[in-house]
Amino acid sequence: MTGQRVAGIRSAAVLGLAGIRLFNGAAGLLAPTLLIHRLDRDCEPNPAAVYAFRLFGIRTILLGLDLLTSRDERLTQDLREGVLIHGSDTVTAAMLGLRGHLAPRTAALTTLISAVNTALAVSALTGGQEKT
């Protein structure tokens, strides 16, 4: 490509964010106890935690699919919502760490992952998420 945007191709930020959402969503839906143990190795997963991971897992899968199927204004709206969703996730992870509810390493990792997702959503939103 010569620097021009090709019609119908989504940005790397949109595709990256969609991939992360699909992977994390599938993990939450299909392997919630694995994720719970990654957050706290000493925790015995309770049914409420498993339910929450599955609930957010399917939500995250649907959000990822939206990025792959939405167009034009709907895609722009999906990305705006993504900035809010991932920004909220970032603040929540950081606050859990600062309050001592997560181990420092786990808090740093979850905050970093959420911050990368936020940055991808912002990048996709400001960089032209779909070329037409």
Backbone angles phi, psi at 101, to 5 degrees: -85, -15
At 72, the amino acid letter reads: D
Q: What is the pLDDT of residues 110-119, one digit of tens each?
A: 999 999 999 9
Is residue 64 within 8 Å of 18, Cβ to Cβ?
Answer: yes
Strands of 14-127, DSSP E: none
pLDDT above 50: residue 42: yes
Structure pTM?
A: 0.81
pLDDT classification of 4: cutoffs 50, 70, 90 = very low
- Could you give the CA distance from residue 22 to residue 45 in angstroms, rounded to a whole number? 23
